[in-house]
Amino acid sequence: MDSSNHPAQVVLIVDDSPTNLELLCDLLDDVGYEVLVAQNGESAIEKVRYTKPDLILLDVLMPGIDGFETCRRLQNLPEAGDIPIIFMTALSDTANKVKGLNIGAVDYITKPFQQEEVLARIQLHLRMRTLHMSLQQEVQERTATEQALQQLTASLEQRIDERTADLRSALQELQQAHLDLLEREQKLHYQAFHDSLTSLPNRAWFMERLEQTIQRSIQDSNYVYAVLFVDIDRFKVVNDSLGHLVGDELLKQIASRLQTCLTDNIQLARFGGDEFIILLEDARDLDRARHLAETIQEELQLPFIVNGYKIYTGASIGITGSSMNYQQASDVLRDVDVAMYQAKVAGRGRYQILTYQMQQQVLSRLHLEHELRQAVESRDFCLHYQPIVALDTGELQGFEALIRWYHPQLGWVSPAELIAIAEETGLIGSLGEWVFYEACWQLRQWQKQFPNLPPLSMHINLSAIQLKQPGIVSRLLQLCQETGLDSQHIKLEITESSFLEAVNSSELLIHQLKKEGFHLCIDDFGTGYSSLSRLHEFPIDTLKIDRAFVNRLSGDSGIEIMRTIITLAHSLDMELVAEGIERTTQQEVLLSMACEFGQGYLFSPPVNSDTATQWFQNASPSIVFPVSVVR
C-alpha cells in the first residue's frame, strides 16, 4: 500500500488467541496498515468508541460476549455502524456464515486462513469502504448542494413574492393617490363653479355659459335667449333682524323653490348675496321669459317657514335678451341689473324688461363715467362761489364752494349727477381733495388781496365717502397748511345722512375735525331722518335748512315747521343758514324768526372767482347785498 500520500488505514483485530493476533498483526503491519488489537468483544467495543478503525477483523468464539454479539453491539454504535466487519472463525458451516452476514458482517473468513486471502479480502473491503465513503460523501455533497439550491430557490421565490407584494402595494398606493388626486381635482372644479350654500352653479359658471350662448346667437340670428336677474325683496331686513343663519336658510329655500320653476333649457345660478340669475337658452320669444318671471314671483310670494319664523318676501326681476344684440356677457349683466333696478324702483315684486331707452341711459352714464375719469385727471373743473349773507344786514359772511364741470360736448354737467358718479366710482376721493384745496386757496388769495375785509368763511361740501377715508382729518389739515388757510375759516358741510353714517362708523372723527378748528355744518337739514336731539350729542355749529322748507314758507304749516326748527336749533346753540331763498318774502319771514343767515338767488347765484374778486375790489369795507329790513 502506498502510505506516503495517505494516512495509513486502521484495522482492528479482535481475537482471544495471542498467536492469531500476532500473526495477523505482522501480516497487516507488513503491508502498511496500522493495527489495533482487542482480545475480547467488550474491549473491542471500547476501542472502537475512541479510535474509529477502517475495518474490523472479528473472531467469533471468544470468552465473554462472542463475535456475533460483539458485531450486533458494534452495529448499534452510531460511530461504528458503517465500519466493515469481517468474521474470522473456525465455525465453517453455512448456517453460521449466513448468521454472521445477516448480523451485518461484510465477509466471512474461516480459520485456518490463507494470509493472501485475508489480505486480499481486507484490501477489497477497504477499497469498497473507501469507494463507499467517497460515494457517500459525494451523495452528501450533492444532497447538500441540492439543499442549498433548494434553499436558494426558496429564498429567491420568497424574495420574488415579497417584491411582488411590495410592488403590488406600491401600485395600489399609486392608484389610490391618483384617484385621490382626481377626486380633489373634481372637488376643486366643483367648488370653483358652484355656490357652497345652495349648491347651485355660481357666477363664474354662469358667465361661461352665457358667453357660449352669446356666441351661438351671434352665429345663428334665429337663436333667441333671455336672461332674468332675480333680486330678493327685503332680504337684507330678514338678514339684519333675524340673523345670518336664518338668512342662509331662507336663501336655500328660495333656491329650491326657484328650481321648481325651471323646465328644459333653463339654467339657474346664484349670483351672490340674494341675487339669482337665470338663462333661458332657447327662449323662442320674450313671452317665455315673462311667463317664467310671473311663475317665480307667484312662487316666492308664498311665505317661507324658517326656524319657526314665517317670512314673506318676493322678487324683483330684470329681463333682457338676444334682441339687444349683445357681444359679451358683461354687457348683458350690466343691462339686466339696470332692468332689475327699475323693477325695484317701480315698487318691488315686479319684473321689468330692459328697454332701448334704459340701455341708452346706462350707456350715456358709462360714457359720463369715462369722461369724468379723464376730467379728474386733467382737473377740468372749476369752482363757483355762492354768497352766504346775514339776513338782517345783507352783509357777506362767506361762500359755499360749488363744483362746476363744463364738458365740451355735454355742456354743463349737473353737480349732483357728477358727485353721484364720483361717489360710485371712487373718484370722489381725488375730486373732493381738489375742491377742498381750490376753495381754501381761493379764500386765502382773497384774504391776502383784501386784508381789510372782515373775516369770511368758506363752506365746503364733504361727501360721506370722503369722511370714511382713513386719515381724512390729517389730509384736510395738510391741505390747509399747503394753502396757508386757517381751519377756523372752513365750514364743512355734511348732509344729515352722511353725518349719521360717519358718526356710526367713527364718532371720534367728528370730534377730531372739531378739535382741529373746522366748523361743522349739517347740510340739507330736514331731508334726512335725524332728530335734533341726536345731533345735539355732537359739536355742530350750523344747521343749513333745506330749500324745500324755505319753499314752503308761503303756507301756515310751513311757517310753523320752520319756527320749530329755528327755535330748537337756537336752544342747542346752533346757527342757522336758510338755503334757496329766492323771494324777499322768504327772507322777511326767516328774519322775523331770527334765522341768522341765508343763501339763494335773491342775493346771488353761485359766481365764478373773477366775479367775486370784482365784488371785493368795488366794496369798502365789506360786501353788502340789498335786503329787506322789515322786522
Residues that bind ligand C2E (CB under 6 A): 386, 402-403, 415-416, 419, 435, 461-463, 493, 523-524, 547, 580-582, 599-601, 606
Neighbour-count burial for 520-545, b at 16+ CB within 10 Å, e otherwise: bbbbbbbebebebeebeebebbbbbb
- CB 580, min distance to ligand C2E, A: 4
* Cα–Cα distance, 598 to 397 (Å, whole number): 10
Site string for Ca ion, 456-495 (x = CB under 5 A): -----x-------------------------------x--
Binding partner at 312 among ligand C2E, Ca ion, none, C-beta below 5 to 8 Å by kind: none
The answer to the question of residue 274 lying near Ca ion (CB under 5 A) is no
The answer for residues whose C-beta is within 8 angstroms of residue 141's C-beta and 6 or more apart is none
Task: Report the residue from 335, 524, 575, 596 that binds Ca ion according to the rule CB under 5 A.
Answer: 524
CB 65, CB 42: distance < 8 Å: yes
CB 317, CB 340: distance < 8 Å: yes
Q: Which is nearer to ligand C2E, 299 or 541 (CB)?
A: 541
* Cα–Cα distance, 53 to 13 (Å, whole number): 10
Binding partner at 403 among ligand C2E, Ca ion, none, C-beta below 5 to 8 Å by kind: ligand C2E
The answer to the question of residue 496 lying near Ca ion (CB under 5 A) is no
CB 246, CB 307: distance < 8 Å: yes
Q: Which is nearer to Ca ion, 297 or 442 (CB)?
A: 442
Subset of 49-78 contacting Ca ion (CB under 5 A): none
- CB 601, min distance to ligand C2E, A: 4
Q: Which is nearer to Ca ion, 59 or 400 (CB)?
A: 400
* # residues near Ca ion by CB under 5 A: 5
- CB 421, min distance to ligand C2E, A: 12
- CB 462, min distance to ligand C2E, A: 6
The answer for residues whose C-beta is within 8 angstroms of residue 310's C-beta and 6 or more apart is 303, 304
Subset of 560-579 contacting Ca ion (CB under 5 A): 579
Cα-based distances in Å from 228 to 102, 206, 314, 321, 342: 116, 12, 15, 9, 13
Task: Report the residue from 249, 281, 335, 523 that binds Ca ion according to the rule CB under 5 A.
Answer: 523
CB 382, CB 608: distance < 8 Å: yes
Binding partner at 402 among Ca ion, ligand C2E, none, C-beta below 5 to 8 Å by kind: ligand C2E
Binding partner at 322 among ligand C2E, Ca ion, none, C-beta below 5 to 8 Å by kind: none
Binding partner at 190 among Ca ion, ligand C2E, none, C-beta below 5 to 8 Å by kind: none
- Residue 441 has, within 13 A of its CA and on its CB side, a CA count of 12
- CB 493, min distance to ligand C2E, A: 6
- CB 496, min distance to Ca ion, A: 10
- Under DSSP, the state recorded for 529 is S
The amino acid present at 126, given as its one-letter code, is L
Alpha helical stretches, state H, 51-93? 67-76
* Cα–Cα distance, 450 to 456 (Å, whole number): 11
Cell numbers linked to 35: 493495527
Peptide bond into 53 cis (omega under 30): no
As a residue count, the chain comes to 631
The answer to the question of residue 335 lying near Ca ion (CB under 5 A) is no
- CB 376, min distance to ligand C2E, A: 12
The answer for residues whose C-beta is within 8 angstroms of residue 209's C-beta and 6 or more apart is 201, 267, 269, 279
- CB 362, min distance to ligand C2E, A: 22
* Cα–Cα distance, 226 to 284 (Å, whole number): 9
- CB 503, min distance to Ca ion, A: 18
Binding partner at 463 among ligand C2E, Ca ion, none, C-beta below 5 to 8 Å by kind: ligand C2E
What are the residues binding Ca ion (CB under 5 A)?
461, 493, 523-524, 579
